[in-house]
Amino acid sequence: MRITLTVNGTEYSRIIEPRLLLIHLIRDELRLTGSHWGCDTSNCGACVLWLDETPVKSCTVLAAMADGRRVMTVEGLAAGTRLDPVQEGFARCHGLQCGFCTPGMMLTARWLLDHHPDPSEADIREALSGQVCRCTGYENIVRAVRWAADYEAAQDQADHS
Amino acid sequence: MNHDHFRQQAYGPAARKEDARFLRGKGTFVDDIALPGMLHGAMLRSPLAHARILSVDTAAAAAHPMVEAVITGDMLAERGLAWMPTLSADVQAVLATDKVRFQGQEVAFVVARDRYSARDALELISVDYEPLPVVMDAGLALDPAAPVIRDDLGNGRGNAIFDWSAGDKAATDAVFASADVVVSQELLYPRSHPAPLETCGAIADLDEITGRLTIWCTSQAPHAHRTMYAMMTGLPEHKIRVVSPDIGGGFGNKVPIYPGYLCAIVGSMMTGKPVKWVEDRSENLMSTSFARDYHMRGEIASTADGQILAVRAKVIADHGAFNGAAQPAKFPAGFFHIFTGSYDLKAAYCEVTGVYTNKAPGGVAYSCSFRVTEAVYLIERMVDRLAAELGSDPAELRMKNLLRPEQFPYTCPTGLEYDSGDYPRALRTALDLAGYDALRAEQAAGRQRGEYMGIGLSFFTEGVGAGPKHQMDILGLGLADGADLRIHPTGKAVLAVSCQTQGQGHETTFAQIVAAELGLSPDDVEVVHGDTDRTPFGLGTYGSRSTAVSGAAAAVVARKVRDRARLVAAAMLEVAADDLEWSGGAWRVKGDPEQARGIAEIAMAAHSGLDLGTGVEGHLDAITVYNPPNLTFPFGAYICVTDVDAGTGQVSVRRFIAVDDCGVRINPMIVAGQVHRGLADGIGIALMQNITFDAEGNCLGGSLMDYLLPTSVEVPSPELGATVTPSPHHPIGAKGIGESATVGSPAAVVNSVIDALAPFGVKHADMPLTPAAVWCAIQAVANTTKGVKAPDV
Amino acid sequence: MQVPAYVEYEKATSLTHALSLLAKFGPEARVLAGGHSLIPMMKLRLAQPETLIDINGLTELSYLDSTGTELRIGAMTRHAELLGSRLAGQHFPILHDAERVIADPVVRLWGTVGGSLCQADPSEDLSAAFAALEATMVIAGIEGKRTVPAREFHIGPYETVVGPGEILTEIKIALMPGGGSAYEKVGRRAGDWPVAAAGAAVWLEGNLIRTAGIGLTAVGAPQFAAREAEESLIGAPATQEAFARAGRLAAEHCRPVFDQRGPVEYKRHLASELTVRALRRAVERARG
């Protein structure tokens, strides 16, 4: 079947088998390998990307289901050379080690901050609780997201003053 | 000292160089690599834990239009590749020819044009099995009536692998015989799995024209793997290149060579095309290197007033169907003999018996220096058991018995020489951070209200950085590491090291090490690793050996460069080399420090036409091999505070205080990150991670739905402290830190939960302390006092 | 990575279209909602449908509203939408309690209420919550719609009364004043399926319990309900003793099985303990 979707602002049209998983379309066909996979049971969250306006575990979505929709991956997070504050927070707070869970973590964090600009530590931990990190013990991921929240709040304030 | 001052400028919490690519999704992990014409492999695995293979019919799979090759054990046997050596000098079936010996064992390998077709073709292979009785209980493996799993060995030893002991049995028995108090306890360190987020995989590409084999692989030890591939395949080693690209976590899981890697190589040999094989999560959990599975009996002897005298341990070690344990050859139980812990003992003795069972082979050191974790758990649980028996406070009992600073270097009763330590200081720091006395008061008040809060301590000593070549080797390869440092004419440096980062931040830390020695900025030092064609030989990253061994090599090779630079600087300044001293990041004329040359200027001069004097080669490049004189011995004091819901058995970890002493800290930010990770590991291992099997040998932990890893909500925000006791023999005084918290924290969690349950009379419960396990532990005591049999957990 | 076997795919554009596609492709077709139960089963090849009928485009099944007498939840409502619904939380806090512990936040964004119910896992949380609330399921077929009480929805593990040509379209819950509800779950970790869980819904008259619904999951309770426990509460004062008695009855009449999550005795204990806790909190909420 033919599907057409927009990934990080670029439209792609591909002929696929209906069983093709979205993560494989993104990684193997479109060669955007920043999104990873780590389990098969939607437990680890390494494959999280955005489908339209929300994060999704893309190992549990058929590429066919993304027909006509928009996808955002980690490769689309930065605005040109300017990192998203979430990316900046991860760098400043040592929020990543091996880097494998990082794209999924950042995409969920971005969604959280879009909907909840001032999350508590508990809110952040809850939001990321479906995504496994084996390296950081989560502490610095939580700090990274909080850093991004503070940064964005300061930016907002600057914009309004 | 000037030099130390300068070093402090290079050391410190610098942001990581490696982050830039990962943050943008530009890392290169094995499964990210796509080569032209690349084929995809899929593995057919045994559904049974023990069965004879009667036939394997691959005709239908081979006829699949997208399939290029189907490989069976018999085909590998024709090439002499049906069996491969393990890291413990056992052999392991690559693809089974005679029997399958664990559920998930490799039986056949399909190579197809895409990964979906490869998977589909597995359905078309039919294997006829004759089921055999299984051995799942390590304790029963040595029963003379037990089925023999490894009949291929024909050694008449049944399911026994090894018997190993350390310490003085007679002396220990004598101390026990005259001790006032003896406490004994059965302790299970359950089977666990490192479960890095990226599973294992490889791409093999044999160039038929050049005869070169390139393997991109999830390897923590690319050089050791290259040598092993040469030995296995018969390909000459100089025609083999192993590349470990970015690795999504290792934790010991990626130390061994797995059958899938070899099948990818054979697939490439057969098809003439690159073949990729990446396991799925179930394959990772069910067939690759588990860890632990130590069935222990501990005994501790003390005086009536709490002077600990001796410990004794007897262990049955379940190694699964093939002995794939990753550890130095002369240490079949790794460094388990560090089970004397951090205490001043008169005597100690341990016996470890390794056995085969119908479980996945291993085991590896999961974030651990070869069984140090099991040893720490044993001694730290036994000290708590003793404290309970004596009615002592576990902190006081530890403080009373810790080794004193003046006792270092200290040779423990089983023969390890601890290099340095100030244990009481670390424990005091942790108690202060925790507010220990206030916590105890809060606990007492809570118990009045029926609230069960636990305070658990653990004091650990590790032996890491394997290790001295005369004592330690793996398959004949000594555990020394090379380092190669090139200084370009403009003063920029490239350090090539043999160890491989899986997230530990080597690209940053090692740059800092070199920068500190040479007066450069860490930004001017590029670290190359993970490619055997571009790096010197060394044994890899595991057992907290990177900083301890390769980090030492980096410092030593930088000092070699500095020594070469001195000769060039002497020529530049027209003074004798002896008239120069290294100070403030430059060679300076003694007595005239303004007359100085830094490495960047010296590098250009070293490449120039300047007359350097007779016998001086020019250039500044250097190479070294670092053979560590001893292990380094990091230590630490951990305190875990838990709240237990006695009505449901649920445990929540409220606080985790960790004071680590890993000697000199090069990048404290990275050190803290390593500790954060290990504390989460400890919570996971103590509370939920467990690979179990049913009576037929079916693995019950084969997915992340069943093998539970801790999430952000189970792990509290850690409270870290530090003391610094440099290693006296390490060039920069550093010790390993990568695994300290995984080693030290599980005992603190368990001690905390048992402490919480003290009012119920609970003395011990085995990990993982799931809600069911906690509830059953309470019931077991209640029912025992009522004379009722406890329910089976 | 595990991958599904070959399958055909059809995208439905309306309920009528979906039903006609189901009729056309027959019993080997499966409805694809959020996919977070079905796709993992397909990857493990435990489910191998011939055709998937994707109903994600059916916005007509995605709603949460009140008719004044009933709360109506469209089957395609995502878990996160139910959790985020003030209306649902105001009338039935049990639904928020349960949703907060179903899977994880990202899965909840895509997984649907109807999909979870139709997967009919014996450890599913909403099945117990809807059993406690005595909800009604609306099922559409080519012939029209029929309603089935929540407590008659399940035939057995992974089996419901929804026929091959049918689609679950809505869950309805009667609105009655004076009620309170709560859900208590024990898992081994965040996002884990329950070891056991209990939901309670009570309606008070003064200090007396006028009516009570108790749902249990993961412990082998018939139709996810604890009928004997409920009956013991009707007309009883809302006291700790009454809750304890209900808990005992709930434990007595369920049939948990041993697995990795725990032994039978433990799960039976949880059936009692969590019933008591849920009742206590439900009554507190009923009293405001």
For C238-264, how does the pLDDT look when each residue is reduced to its tens digit (9 = 90+)? 999 999 999 999 999 999 999 999 999
Residue A161 to chain B, least CA–CA distance (Å): 31
The answer to whether residues B614 and B742 belong to one domain is: no
Which are the contacts of B615, defined by CB distance < 8 A and separation ≥ 6?
A: none
> Can you tell me the mean pLDDT for B599-610?
97
| pLDDT, position B9 | 76
Residue pair B714/C189 in contact (Cβ under 8 Å)? The answer is yes
A67 and A7 co-located in one domain: yes
Residue with tokens 């090439």, as numbered in its chain: B79
Of C186, C189, C269, the CB nearest to B708: C189
Euclidean distance between CA atoms C32 and C110, whole angstroms: 12
- Whether B260 and B358 map to the same domain: the answer is no
A53 touches chain C (CB under 8 A): no
Distance CA A53, CA A58 (A): 14
Chains touching B, CB cut-off 8 Å, 3+ pairs: A, C
pLDDT tens per residue across span B455-508? 999 999 999 999 999 999 999 999 999 999 999 999 999 999 999 999 999 999
CB contact A130 to B (< 8 Å)? yes
- Calculate mean pLDDT across residues B448-454: 97
Q: Is the dihedral of CA A71, A75, A81, A87 positive or negative?
A: positive
- pLDDT by residue (tens digit) across B77-90? 999 999 999 999 89
- For residue C279, which amino acid is it? L
pLDDT tens, residue by residue, C86-115: 999 999 999 999 999 999 999 999 999 999
Average pLDDT over residues C203-225: 97
Q: If you ran DSSP here, which 8-state letter would residue B159 be given?
A: T
Q: Do B542 and B507 fall within a single domain?
A: yes
CATH number at residue A151: 1.10.150.120
Closest CA–CA distance from residue A48 to any residue of chain C (Å): 8
CB contact under 8 A, C269 and B775: yes
Report which secondary-structure segment, H or E, holds B128.
Answer: strand B126-131
Residues within 8 A of B (CB atoms), A 51-90 only:
73-75, 77-78, 83, 87, 90
What would the pLDDT profile of C66-81 be if each residue is shown by its tens digit? Answer: 999 999 999 999 999 9
Note whether A121 contacts B717, CB cutoff 8 Å.
yes
CB pairs under 8 A between A and C: 86
Together in a domain, B446 and B571: no
| Residues B618, B655 share a domain | no
Measure in Å the smallest separation between the Cα of A83 and chain C Cα atoms. 23
Do A61 and A95 reside in the same domain of the chain? no
Name every residue whose Cβ is closer than 8 Å to that of residue B298 and which is 6 or more positions away in sequence: B184, B185, B187, B311, B312, B313, B378, B379, B381, B382
Which of residues 159 through 218 in chain C touch A, CB cutoff 8 A? 190-191
Q: Does A108 touch chain C (CB under 8 A)?
A: yes
pLDDT attached to residue B5: 52
Question: Chain C contacts of B282, Cβ < 8 Å?
Answer: 2
Chain C partners (3+ C-beta pairs within 8 A): A, B
Closest CA to C97 of C283, C284, C278: C278
How confident is the model over B24-30, as a mean pLDDT?
A: 98
Would the CB atoms of B708 and C269 count as touching at under 8 Å?
Answer: no
- For residue B416, how many C-alpha atoms fall within 13 Å in the half-sphere facing its CB? 25
Look at A131 and C106 and tell me if their CB atoms are within 8 Å.
yes
Q: Do C9 and A48 count as a contact with CB atoms less than 8 A apart? A: no
Query: Side-chain half-sphere of C14: how many Cα atoms within 13 Å?
Result: 4
Same domain, A62 and A100: no
Inspect the interface and report whether the beta carbons of A17 and B672 lie closer than 8 Å: no
The verdict on a CB contact (< 8 Å) between A96 and B711 is no
Question: Same domain, yes or no, for A66 and A8?
Answer: yes
Spatial distance between the Cα atoms of A66 and C213, rounded to a whole number of angstroms: 41
Q: Which of B637, B602, B643, B649 is nearest to B621 (CA)?
A: B602
B417 and B317 in a single domain? The answer is yes
Report the distance separating Cα B96 and Cα B71, nearest Å: 11
CB contact under 8 A, B196 and A134: yes
**CA–CA min distance A153, chain C (Å):** 24
For chain C, domain boundaries = 8-54, 59-174, 179-286
Mean residue pLDDT of chain B comes to 96
Instruction: Identify the CATH number of the domain in which residue B236 sits.
Output: 3.90.1170.50
- C100: closest CA of chain A, how far (Å): 10
Q: Predicted confidence band at C220 (pLDDT cuts at 50, 70, 90)?
A: very high
CATH value at residue B591? 3.30.365.10
- B692 class by beta-carbon count within 10 Å (0-12 exposed, 13-18 middle, 19+ buried): middle
Given an 8 Å threshold on Cβ–Cβ distance, is B772 in contact with C3?
no
| Binary contact (A33, B196; C-beta < 8 A) | no
* Facing residue for A137 by CB, picked from B32, B502, B680: B680
Q: How far is A40 from chain C (nearest CA, A)?
A: 6
Look at residue B793 and tell me whether its pLDDT is greater than 80. Answer: no
Instruction: Select from A33, A58, A76 the last residue of a domain.
Output: A76
What is the pTM (predicted TM-score) of this model? 0.97
Confirm whether B157 is domain-assigned: no
Q: How many CB pairs under 8 A join A and B?
A: 175
Can you give the pLDDT at residue B786?
A: 67
Total structural domains within chain A? 2
Q: Looking at CA atoms only, how far is residue B704 from chain A in angstroms?
A: 6
Q: Say whether both B532 and B591 belong to one domain.
A: yes
pLDDT tens for residues B203-260? 999 999 999 999 999 999 999 999 999 999 999 999 999 999 999 999 999 999 999 9
Closest residue of chain A to B720, computed from CA coordinates: A139
Determine whether the interchain pair B771/C188 forms a contact, defined as Cβ–Cβ distance below 8 Å: yes
Share of chain B above pLDDT 70, in %: 98
Domain stops at, among A76, A100, A117 = A76
Which of C9, C40, C54 is closest, CB to CB, to A60? Answer: C40
What local confidence, expressed as pLDDT, does residue A161 receive? 76
| Rounded mean pLDDT, B410-435 | 98
Residue B761 lies in domain: 290-466+630-786
One domain, residues B16 and B48: no
Q: Which helix (H) or strand (E) holds B3?
A: helix B2-10
pLDDT digits (tens, 9 = 90+) for B705-724: 999 999 999 999 999 999 99
H/E/C letters for each residue in A81-109? CECCHHHHHHHHCCCCCCCCCHHHHHHHH
C56 touches chain A (CB under 8 A): yes
All chains having 3 or more CB pairs closer than 8 angstroms to chain A: B, C
H or E element that contains B623: strand B622-626
Question: Which of B282, B708, B793 lies closest to C263 in CB terms?
Answer: B793
From chain B, the residues in CB contact with C1 under 8 A are 115, 278, 280-281
Percent of chain B with pLDDT over 90: 96
Question: Do B547 and B617 share a domain, yes or no?
Answer: yes
Question: Pick from B626, B660, B681: which residue ends a domain?
Answer: B626
What's the domain count of chain B? 3
Asked if residue B613 and residue B642 are part of one domain, the reply reads no
- Partner C contacted by A27 (CB < 8 A): no
Of all residues in chain C, the one with the smallest CA distance to A108 is: C106
The predicted pLDDT at position B1 comes to: 37
Which fold does the domain C59-174 belong to in CATH? 3.30.465
Instruction: Give residue A121's domain range.
Output: 85-160
**The predicted structure's pLDDT at residue C136:** 98
CB contact under 8 A, C40 and A18: no
- The whole-number pLDDT of residue B792 equals 46
- Shared domain for B748 and B660, answered yes or no, is yes
Specify whether A20 is located in the same domain as A48. yes
Please report the number of interchain residue pairs, chain B to chain C, with beta-carbon separation below 8 angstroms: 69
Predicted confidence (pLDDT) per residue in B262-292, tens digit? 999 999 999 999 999 999 999 999 999 999 9
> Does residue A6 sit at the C interface (CB-CB below 8 Å)?
no
Chain B residues touching residue A34 (CB < 8 angstroms): 24-27
Residue of B nearest to A104 (CA): B25
| Cβ within 8 Å, pair B772-C263 | yes
Kindly report the CATH number that applies to the domain delimited by C8-54: 3.30.43.10
A2: closest CA among A70, A63, A71?
A63
pLDDT of residue B4: 54
Please answer yes or no on whether A106 and B23 come within 8 Å at the CB atom: yes
A40 and A6 housed in the same domain: yes
Domains C8-54 and C179-286 equal at CATH topology level: no
Q: Do A33 and B25 touch (CB under 8 A)?
A: yes
At residue B167, does pLDDT exceed 60?
A: yes
The nearest CA of chain B is from the CA of A5 a distance in Å of 20
Given CB atoms, is A17 within the 8 Å cutoff of chain C? yes
Q: Which residue of B has its CA nearest to C4?
A: B116
Query: Has domain C179-286 been given CATH number 3.30.390.50?
Result: yes
pLDDT at B784: 80
Query: What residues of chain B lie within 8 A of the CB of C270, using their CB?
Result: 648
Whole-angstrom distance, CA of residue C19 vs CA of residue C7: 19
- Output the CA torsion sign for B602, B604, B607, B612: negative
B648·C263 Cβ contact <8 A = no
CB contact under 8 A, A57 and C8: no
Q: If you write DSSP's letter for every residue of B54-85 in order, what string do you get?
A: EEEE-HHHHHSTTEEEEEEHHHHHHTT-SEEE
DSSP percent split of chain B into helix, strand, coil, nearest 5? 30, 25, 40
pLDDT at site B790: 46
**Beta-carbon separation of B710 and C189 below 8 A:** yes
- Asked whether residue B238 falls in the same domain as residue B109, the answer is yes
Q: Does A18 touch chain C (CB under 8 A)?
A: yes
Does A83 sit within 8 Å of B248, measured CB to CB? Answer: no
